[in-house]
A and B are shown apart, each in its own frame.
Chain A
Amino acid sequence: GIQVEQSPPDLILQEGANSTLRCNFSDSVNNLQWFHQNPWGQLINLFYIPSGTKQNGRLSATTVATERYSLLYISSSQTTDSGVYFCAVEGRSSSASKIIFGSGTRLSIRP
């Protein structure tokens, strides 16, 4: 089945810093999403981005489907940005018609 790899696995930054999180996938996808898991375990939808670029405040995301990767940018980090960021993809082939998650990037923002 489709493989999803996220990097880096862990990232520690000072408040105000910028960061880039990466998601690589091994096959063609119908869609790709980014989520933020807060300390209580809730998964918050950030972006639904099968291709192109989207922005929402300090966060933006770019997916280059032909090269099989997506990037999540966080600018001017705040302590509330801490948590785990997951990307999830839906494979395009019939044998991969389910949504698979990467292993996540754990982001810690220090005050």
Chain B
Amino acid sequence: DGGITQSPKYLFRKEGQNVTLSCEQNLNHDAMYWYRQDPGQGLRLIYYSQIVNDFQKGDIAEGYSVSREKKESFPLTVTSAQKNPTAFYLCASSPPLGAGELFFGEGSRLTVL
């Protein structure tokens, strides 16, 4: 079935370590996104990519990095520079902006000890 797969679902890391969250989609979507959600809060945009080898910062990009080497994949690295990395991370994809719906993966819950 077509969809978006995020891994891992749960991740524990020590403070100061970089962490990479995986996001893969087989919907043939051009655009992909990473959002962060803190408890009881809404979704905030970290990075988004409209096309392979191109991406833009969202509202809270500091301390994060991404790559878009393949259409299907948009991994997110939470670096040691991110001051408060414990959160729920959601990946999404859509057809080109203005052309269709946004669909989400099941999320990755990161806890930094």
A interface residues, Cβ below 8 angstroms from B: 30-31, 33, 35, 40-43, 45, 48, 86, 88, 90, 97-104
Contacts and interface: CB of A to CB of B under 8 A. Distances in A.
B97 A90 contact: yes
Given A86-B42, A101-B43, 11 more contacts: A31-B101, A33-B101, A41-B37, A41-B88, A41-B90, A42-B104, A43-B90, A88-B43, A88-B102, A98-B33, A99-B48
A48 to B, nearest CB: 5
Interface in B40-98: 41-45, 48, 56, 58, 88, 90, 92, 94, 97-98
A103 B97 CA distance: 21
A30 B100 CA distance: 10
Given A42-B106, A42-B107, A43-B90, A98 B43 contact: no
A35 B97 CA distance: 18
A101 B43 CA distance: 6
Looking at chain A's contact residues, the main secondary structure is strand
B41 A99 contact: no
Contacts of B42: 86, 101-104
Contact of A103 (B41, B92, B103, B107): B41
Nearest to B42: A103
B98 A48 contact: no
Contacts of B94: 99
Contacts of B100: 31, 48
Contacts of A42: 104, 106-107
Contacts of A43: 90, 92, 104
Given A30-B97, A43-B90, A99 B45 contact: yes
